[in-house]
Amino acid sequence: MAKNVIIMGATSGIGASLAGLFAALGCHLAIAGRRAPLLEQSAARLQAAGGERVIWEPVDVCSEGAAAAIERLAAQLGGVDLYIHASGIGCENPQLDPGIELETTATNTLGFARCLDAAFRLMEAQGGNGQIAAISSVAGTRGIGISPAYSASKAFQSRYLEALRQRASAKGLGLFVT
């Protein structure tokens, strides 16, 4: 079982639920997301529920500092065994509002790549072992007309994960990408 876990997107939804599960298992846990008040509340809940070690840092995956934040969190944990990327956005956009489409694309592709690359490099540097897991969507296999950017960004994520798996295998790493 993973001992040191980083969860990006732990402010709500699946990421927050996973944080609770890993804390209950006694993992050392770093949680991150862009909504600082929610992170602080989650960290306090996790610690009160017996989370052995819970640290947190506000991180916006779209910021250029996201990779450095992941590195800081890993250093505070003493390394990372499991990185979970549960960060993303998706909106119905029947009017194709460009702002919504571009924000979705930036978060779910650029932010995604930035963070997964950082996690991959960290695990490679610490011996090439561990696991990177990302929460995506079936929308990546088939477009959803009311959410084009969301659908396209989820297809990007699926292919990106596939390429990272190939990269880990080609380098002979014990790094699993799911």
Residues classed as catalytic: 150
Is the Cβ–Cβ distance between 46 and 29 less than 8 Å? Answer: yes
Residues 6+ apart with CB under 8 A from 30: 4, 5, 6, 7, 54, 55, 56, 57, 73, 74, 76, 77, 80
For residue 55, the number of C-alpha atoms closer than 13 Å in the C-beta half-sphere is 16
Distances (CA, A) of 125 to 70, 164, 176: 14, 15, 15
Number of CB atoms found within 10 A of residue 133's CB: 18
Distances (CA, A) of 4 to 100, 106, 112: 35, 28, 20
Tokens 């450095």, residue located: 68
